Amino acid sequence: MEYQSLSEYPQSWIFRHRELPVPQELLGDIRPLSESSALAFWRQQISKEATHAAHFMNDDWPNRNGIWHEKAEWQPRWESDDNSLPEELDFGDWENNTTVFFCYDCHNVIQTTWGTFRQCWKNFLFYDDEPLLLGRRRMQVARFHSDGTFEIGVR
């Protein structure tokens, strides 16, 4: 996989927001994939045809019946002073060094670790237009909605 530097990533401001800055020691752990690598990852792991969650086809796994089994709210916690993940989202069997991918669309995918995501999840959700969270070699997934809810599923 190829990466772009965080400083070159068009949405990098979400990690440098004055009200929610990411600690310097974690910034190196936030690795946006290059556009071509993001597209390849999206095509391989999410959808061969859709470019965004709004365009998923019936045969794309996120649209299949039975994938999503739990729904909860993320926005109340996001708006609070509590920086911990919503309990439903804290996958207990994911180690802090588990590689995760936060997928906004076919051109915007960020690789990080579960530990970094857990600490900076509010930053990732500045863009809440149907992103997906996938862990490497993990079946659990999460999908976030702009209405302040998220779903947990198994792909």
Q: What is the pLDDT of residues 95-134, one digit of tens each?
A: 999 999 999 999 999 999 999 999 999 999 998 889 999 9
Please report, for residues 4, 47, 51, 59, 126, the alpha-carbon distance to residue 132 in angstroms, rounded to integers and kept in the order given.
20, 12, 13, 17, 14
Percent share of the chain, pLDDT over 90 = 89
Has residue 1 been placed in a domain?
no
Has residue 108 been placed in a domain?
yes
What digits encode the pLDDT tens for the residues 7-30? 999 999 999 999 899 999 999 999
Has residue 7 been placed in a domain?
no
Whole-number pLDDT of residue 11 = 92
* In the predicted structure, residue 90 carries a pLDDT above the cut 90: no
Query: Whole domain around residue 84: which residue ranges?
Result: 23-154
**Mean pLDDT of the residues in the chain:** 94
**Is 0.75 surpassed by the pTM of this model?**
yes
Question: φ, ψ for residue 72 (rounded to 5)?
Answer: -150, 180
The mean pLDDT value for 27-53 works out to: 96
Has residue 11 been placed in a domain?
no
Has residue 2 been placed in a domain?
no
Q: How many domains does the chain divide into?
A: 1
Has residue 16 been placed in a domain?
no
Has residue 115 been placed in a domain?
yes
9: which residues sit within 8 A by CB, 6+ positions away?
Answer: 32
Has residue 81 been placed in a domain?
yes
